[in-house]
């Protein structure tokens, strides 16, 4: 292909394939059309999993395949391009496992000459990978075992003699196969969901160190630069609040709308909310702000505490999800304790959402007398007991005491604990629910129910409610043809339609490796991608890539036996959420079921199996997946 034609400018890239069992490596160079069809990130993950991981493969066995993938945007000199995906069959859900993280590792990987790494087999002894300017080495990691993430990063950099090395790693929790262990990048960014750290740990792969110097190629650099310029010139107006308070800035808005998950989703308002807000953090323990590759927003927090509780700034600061999970969900209003929980999770490689929500679940069990002091080893595991929460994190990481069971995830724990706890364990498909309240946005409830990864905040959309007064909010979706108001408390066909469009887009965003917090509209995303690749893509094509990848994930789940009986919500969400000022209606089981059926029909999915019909696979040019 010629340079700068509409079909591209001859994009070519490399995918590294490593078999840890026989220590072989292989470099693949897919055709450009492969890149355009799957775009990277979640797209590469879905493609690889469906092609290479058969039904019934043990998620924690050597037959599982672990994928690290950058996207087409990753490493481009424009805000939002600092993301990468990790994927495998999930030990938490048994289905499609995939999670994204920000930072610098993915950009470094591309600068080292690779778009993705596919890891097969398992090493007999602990190893780490050293990917250095196009070369790859499998190195001994016995000296890194059991160490916390910051220490491991330091040791690797010292061993290899380069401070600029970027490290992806599994913490001790992943080594010990905690089912919601995560992959940690740069010590303080987590590909948190679906237990990718446990898969990495099961392969005896402690870390992947990368270093590259080759700039990411741009077809039309000036187009990319224009968006970078636009963002930095309009930063305050567009994302000033996120810059000032990070993701934690959304805590108080949720509190004021009765949608801050509290006490294991028993309430939407938390008395201690103001004490754990992003605003309060900025006034107290915040010492710095941090960014991802090429991003001018600096939404990442850096906190430091030197009190009774000590918090190491190397691990950053808590995101909103972490504050919700360890704060309002556990009834804890001590920001320092929450920051400590964040530090521990990052140091051990634990997903803060699943860890916090699992502890919140255990607290409700304790308060209801289902778990006793005998079960907890004497810990008063009550809502509000911050010290107990920190102790449970330690036990989960150490796989000791009650933590051993909780490290299997709240869903499996509830099966063991029984006594009615199965009724209030807050999960979908075995994955704990993030800190976005579906009763405030019924479409979000549908999203949790049908997401291929189980309850997930990055494969979903937060707000799908538009009243007549919401013209500014409606503007963004008008571009998709959503032209009429949609109240929060419906799953009518119009809502499902919006949901379908936005979720398709969201999956595309997870393919290109774009951060969801960037204030780019559809056209700008298209322009940036065009600038990078030279491809004359349309929103139409991009929407179909998202839908393609979602359908691959769905096919993967069908093959692993996840049927429509798994597309459900915990019963609790059918209860209304009381409030003096903002009472919210529950999502009735029948409403949800109707919404799910409408969604299947619109998606071209079999109403009996929930799997994509052949005609849908044909339309999406993935008939090979049938």
> Closer to a second copy at the Cβ: 387 or 613?
613
CA distances from 531 to 131, 510, 516 (A): 28, 18, 19
Burial pattern 117-152, b for ≥16 Cβ within 10 A else e, equals bbbbbbbeebbbbbbbeeebebbebeebeebbbbeb
CB of residue 75 vs a second copy: minimum separation in angstroms? 23
Tokens 């504050």 -> residue:
323
Distance, CA of 324 to chain centre = 16
> Closer to a second copy at the Cβ: 269 or 527?
527
How many other CB atoms are there within 10 angstroms of residue 79's CB atom?
27
> Closer to a second copy at the Cβ: 402 or 537?
537
Contacting positions for a second copy (CB under 8 A): 1-2, 5-7, 33, 36-37, 471, 474-476, 478-481, 483-484, 493-494, 496-497, 500-501, 521-523, 535-541, 543-545, 598, 601-602, 604, 613-616, 618-619, 621, 623
Q: CA–CA separation, 65 vs 52, rounded Å?
A: 7
> Closer to a second copy at the Cβ: 293 or 599?
599
> Closer to a second copy at the Cβ: 8 or 59?
8
> Closer to a second copy at the Cβ: 400 or 538?
538
CB of residue 492 vs a second copy: minimum separation in angstroms? 9
CB of residue 475 vs a second copy: minimum separation in angstroms? 4
CB of residue 117 vs a second copy: minimum separation in angstroms? 25
Q: CA–CA separation, 346 vs 340, rounded Å?
A: 10
Cβ pair 248, 320 in contact under 8 A: yes
Q: What are phi and psi of 592, to 5 degrees?
A: -65, -45
CB of residue 626 vs a second copy: minimum separation in angstroms? 11
Q: Please report which helix (H) or strand (E) contains residue 398, including its range.
A: helix 386-398
> Closer to a second copy at the Cβ: 308 or 468?
468
> Closer to a second copy at the Cβ: 416 or 469?
469
DSSP 613: P
CB of residue 566 vs a second copy: minimum separation in angstroms? 21
User: Read out DSSP for 98-144?
Assistant: EEEE-SSHHHHHHHTT-SEEEEES--SS-EEEEEETTEEEEEE-GGG
CB of residue 544 vs a second copy: minimum separation in angstroms? 5
3-state secondary structure of 350: strand
CB of residue 38 vs a second copy: minimum separation in angstroms? 11
- Among 411, 369, 371, which Cα is nearest to 392's? 371
| Interhelix angle 149-160/335-348, nearest 10 degrees | 50
> Closer to a second copy at the Cβ: 193 or 526?
526
CB of residue 534 vs a second copy: minimum separation in angstroms? 11
């Amino acid at each position: 292909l010629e340079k700068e034609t509409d079909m591209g400018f001859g994009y070519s890239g490399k995918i590294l394939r490593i078999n840890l069992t026989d220590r072989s490596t292989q470099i693949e160079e897919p055709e450009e059309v492969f890149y355009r069809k799957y775009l990277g990130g979640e797209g590469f993950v879905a493609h690889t999993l469906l092609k290479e991981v058969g039904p019934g493969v043990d998620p924690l066995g050597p037959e599982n395949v672990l994928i690290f993938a950058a996207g087409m945007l990753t490493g481009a000199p424009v805000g939002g391009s600092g993301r990468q995906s990790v994927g495998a069959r999930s030990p938490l859900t048994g289905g499609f496992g995939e999670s994204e993280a920000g930072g610098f590792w993915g950009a470094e990987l591309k600068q080292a000459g690779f778009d993705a790494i596919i890891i097969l087999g398992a090493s007999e002894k602990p190893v780490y990978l050293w990917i250095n300017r196009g070369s790859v080495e499998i190195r001994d990691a016995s000296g890194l075992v059991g160490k916390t993430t910051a220490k491991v990063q330091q040791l690797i950099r010292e061993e290899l003699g380069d401070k600029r090395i970027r490290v992806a790693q599994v913490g001790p929790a992943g080594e010990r196969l905690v089912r919601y262990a995560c992959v940690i990048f740069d010590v303080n960014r987590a590909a948190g969901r679906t237990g990718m750290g446990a898969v990495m740990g099961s392969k005896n792969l402690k870390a992947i160190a990368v270093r590259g110097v080759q700039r990411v190629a741009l077809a039309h650099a000036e187009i990319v630069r224009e968006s970078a310029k636009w963002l930095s010139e309009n930063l305050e107006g567009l994302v000033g609040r996120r810059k000032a308070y990070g993701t934690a800035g959304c805590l108080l808005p949720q509190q004021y709308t009765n949608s801050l998950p509290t006490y294991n989703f028993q309430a939407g308002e938390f008395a201690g909310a103001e004490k754990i807000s992003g605003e309060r953090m900025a006034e107290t323990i915040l010492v710095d702000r941090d960014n991802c590759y090429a991003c001018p927003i600096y939404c990442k927090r850096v906190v430091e505490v030197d009190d009774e509780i000590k918090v190491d700034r190397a691990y950053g600061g808590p995101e909103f999800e972490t504050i919700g999970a360890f704060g309002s969900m556990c009834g804890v209003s001590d920001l320092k304790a929450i920051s400590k929980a964040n530090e521990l999770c990052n140091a051990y490689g634990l997903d803060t959402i699943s860890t916090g929500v699992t502890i919140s679940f255990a607290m409700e069990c304790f308060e209801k007398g289902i778990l006793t002091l005998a079960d907890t080893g004497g810990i008063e595991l009550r809502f509000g007991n911050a010290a107990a929460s920190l102790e449970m994190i330690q036990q989960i990481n150490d796989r000791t005491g009650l933590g051993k069971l909780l490290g299997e995830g709240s869903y499996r724990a509830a099966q063991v604990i029984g006594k009615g706890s199965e009724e209030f364990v807050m999960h979908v498909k075995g994955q704990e629910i993030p800190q976005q309240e579906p009763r405030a946005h019924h479409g979000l409830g549908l999203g949790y129910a049908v997401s291929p990864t189980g309850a997930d905040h990055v494969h979903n959309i937060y707000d799908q409610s538009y009243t007549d007064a919401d013209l500014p909010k409606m503007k963004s979706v008008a571009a998709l043809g959503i032209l009429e108001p949609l109240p929060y408390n419906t799953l009518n066909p119009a809502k499902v339609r919006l949901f379908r469009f936005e979720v398709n887009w969201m999956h595309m965003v997870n393919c290109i490796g774009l951060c969801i917090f960037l204030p780019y509209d559809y056209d700008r995303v298209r322009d940036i991608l065009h600038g990078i690749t030279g491809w004359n893509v349309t929103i139409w094509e991009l929407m179909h890539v998202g839908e393609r990848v979602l359908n691959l994930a769905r096919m993967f789940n069908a093959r692993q036996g996840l049927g429509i009986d798994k597309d459900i919500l915990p019963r609790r969400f059918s209860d209304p959420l009381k409030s003096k000022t903002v009472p919210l209606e529950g999502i009735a089981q029948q409403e949800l079921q109707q919404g799910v059926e409408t969604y299947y029909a619109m998606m071209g999915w079999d109403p009996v199996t929930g799997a994509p019909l052949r005609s849908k696979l044909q339309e999406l040019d993935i008939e090979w997946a049938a």
